[in-house]
A and B are shown apart, each in its own frame.
Chain A
Amino acid sequence: MPHMTDERVRAGMTREEDLSLLNEVSMKTAGVSHLEMCIQCGTCGGSCPVAADMDHTPRMLFAMLRAGMREEVLRSNTPWLCVSCYHCVVRCPQEVHIADVMYTLKGMAIHAKLYTDSTAPHFSQTFVGMVETFGRGYELGLATRHYLRHFPLRLPGMMPMGLGMISKGRMAITPKRIKHMDQLTKILDRAKELELTS
């Protein structure tokens, strides 16, 4: 419940505190996120190998969630740069599931179409498309589609690597499909319905 504490009044804060965004993100995160426990110590940002390239460190992002800054949070490149190395997660004194919160924010940004750079969302979506079609990853299909779409100029420089991978048998030309694809499709379809109602 939004509320006005005496402390907020004394601090000159005239608006009621609205934690609905924080709660929404917390509820949408797998496991128990502990997000509301963040004490703003900054251990996460200090542990992050890619913090230098982020719009906001995880600590800043969590303060923004608390402040209800929905659009700014979902436009931030921070979740998309997270490499899921879990350094922050094991160091966080409050046991916030930081990497999982980042996954939640990515999903919310895709849903609200509020990302600034489409490279990462498209990559995730192309990858998932392959898995939903074949039940397995398909690297050649994923790589060609993704690079043609987002890094066409990188392709000539990468040809030797791609050809090396193919000639050494490390990248299959054709995808592999699981036997019971129909079963997997039924499971994923039902899961998507459940996602919408949750």
Chain B
Amino acid sequence: MNKYLLYPGCSMDSSAKAYMESLNSIVEPLDLHLEEIEDWNCCGATEYLGINLIPAYSLIARNLALAAKQTDSTRTVVAPCSACYLNLAKADYYMQERPTLGAKVNEALAAGGLEYKAGMLDVRHLIDVLVYDVGLDAIRKAVTHPLSGLKVVPYMGCMLPRPDYQHRWSDHEHPTELDDLLRALGADVIDYPLTTSCCGGHMTQIGPETAFELIHRLVSDADERGAQMMVTVCPMCQMNIDAYQNEMNHFFGTDFHMPILFFTQLMGLAFGKEPGEVGIGVELVSSRNALAHIGVEVPVTQEPAAPRKKDEGLPMPRRWTKHEGKKEAVK
């Protein structure tokens, strides 16, 4: 039996709820026991660190302190979100590397009656424990519906294999954990050199042109390599590539339709779960056509919108496109 403390992170019950649902569907076949950290708070993502140092690390460390109180049979904290994983691991590491930081954070924690001794916990990502603790053999044994014929590119994202404080990953730039896992499920894994390139992170919110460029690189390369879908381990990557793909298409005048699912969703399908049980259908770029290749039928949840009768309608604000600036300059 593998027992862990779970730090879900904010996105798991909102934008990445499909990740949570599919994770819940695979714990039983893999004999995983996840105990949620009681009353955890947001890790601050990539935002709090850029404002104040001690408060940012105290925010993260409250979670570690709460987890440390719950360690009766395990001292491993598992985070499914790459940003949460990095923040928790980073706080644990820097509180040791710079003891004055550790002391100040503990002084702040004491105001809330908590304390955390850095190094007490192991912070690990979900895919790390699945590949290295549960093991690929156990995963292979649980597969009842192999995904053969499904062409996927594995997308690891950046915050998982880097900076890798605890030396957990096979490589910083071309790690193979996700490839191996997807192969164990029977999928056709396509080599994807951009596997740890950035999805833009928060740039979709603050500098969309930069973000669209990065999303375009990832999606167009996956498309060129003949992928039917991308597979990710990170809620931020899923959100950027799924929810902003339409806006990116408008920006570049392209017409990509590249679905992106969480690896746990594919695990659920390979273990014989129904699409509805693993959160399929809530992605904005539908995975319906891609999953038809492996005989999975996704029920239509929404009728496609009726075509407009006339092209000319009410005047609407123009969408943001890459060439807009040039057009205006010509006027």
Contacts and interface: CB of A to CB of B under 8 A. Distances in A.
B54 A135 contact: no
B208 A154 contact: yes
B107 interface: yes
B284 interface: yes
Contact of A157 (B207, B210, B320): B320
A171 B15 contact: yes
A107 B50 contact: yes
B292 interface: no
Interface residues of A, number: 72
A128 B111 contact: no
B225 interface: no
Given A85-B158, A153-B320, A165-B15, A107 B45 contact: no
A84 B214 CA distance: 13
Interface in B158-210: 158-159, 162-164, 172-173, 196-198, 200-203, 205-210
Interface stretch (A13-21, A55-63, A178-186): A178-186
B130 interface: no
B117 to A, nearest CB: 16
B240 to A, nearest CB: 11
A120 to B, nearest CB: 4
Given A84-B159, A153-B320, A169-B282, 11 more contacts: A32-B97, A90-B163, A127-B45, A157-B247, A157-B320, A160-B246, A168-B282, A170-B14, A191-B108, A194-B54, A194-B104
A33 B40 CA distance: 29
B225 to A, nearest CB: 19
Contact of A191 (B49, B105, B159, B320): B105
Interface of A: 28, 30-32, 49-50, 53, 79-81, 83-87, 89-90, 99-100, 102-104, 106-107, 110, 119-120, 123-125, 127-128, 131, 135-137, 139, 143, 146, 150-151, 153-154, 156-158, 160-161, 164-165, 167-172, 176, 178-180, 183-184, 186-192, 194-195, 198
B114 A80 contact: no
Interface stretch (B55-63, B257-265, B270-278): B55-63
B108 A187 contact: yes
